[in-house]
Amino acid sequence: MTVAGKNSLPGESPGQKLARIVRHYVGCSLSSRADELGRLVARGVDDPARVVQIRTNCGLFALGVMAEAGVDDPILDRKYYDGAAIGWLRQIGLNRKALVKYAGPTGPQPQIGALLRYNTAGKNDDHVEWLLSDVDAHGYAEHAGGGRTNNAITLVGPQAPNSAGLVTWNYGRPLVEFWDPNLLGIEIVPLGSDINEAYPDV
């Protein structure tokens, strides 16, 4: 488990754990719960006051969520340097064989807890979001992430105000790939386990 990893709940799937963590941080920004956001993106290895200020923070937020979820990859314990986030995320996906190319409606589809990557071919405009609900028949779902004004972590989706939540596009950028949450090495605690028995030294 990474330095910043936290326990799974009994019966919780990797995707459910990732979505639970993301939902907890929705509403954080530089002006609201900034210390909490800083601790997340620092992953136990960086200075929270420094890394929380880095713009844009969509990739840093995703790295923090992966670290807290206990994704099994040593990259998450590295000290951060500017511009590394998307490359690190993709390398984690490749290392874990969890990175899936999005090939349209006939190919593999992302599920709850998947990290979604958007990019315009030939441009350096990467953006990542976390999928938080099932995708409906029209291609809409709740998803959340960083990269917003004031480094805010916000949620979009069919039920969110002024927000459609189309999964396959993000401000003109197409969905190009996603991370399968079941392949990220997140520990699963069986349903019915006593959390104290599962983690006797905690």
Tokens 């330095």 locate to 3
Is residue 98 predicted with pLDDT exceeding 90? yes
Look at residue 196 in the predicted model and tell me its pLDDT. Answer: 54
pTM > 0.95: yes or no: no
- Are residues 143 and 154 in contact, defined by beta-carbon separation less than 8 angstroms? no
Gap between the Cα atoms of 103 and 112, Å rounded: 18
Range of weakest confidence among 36-50, 114-128, 183-197: 183-197
Q: Which residue has the higher pLDDT, 160 or 44?
A: 44
The residues spanned by each domain of the chain are: 14-185
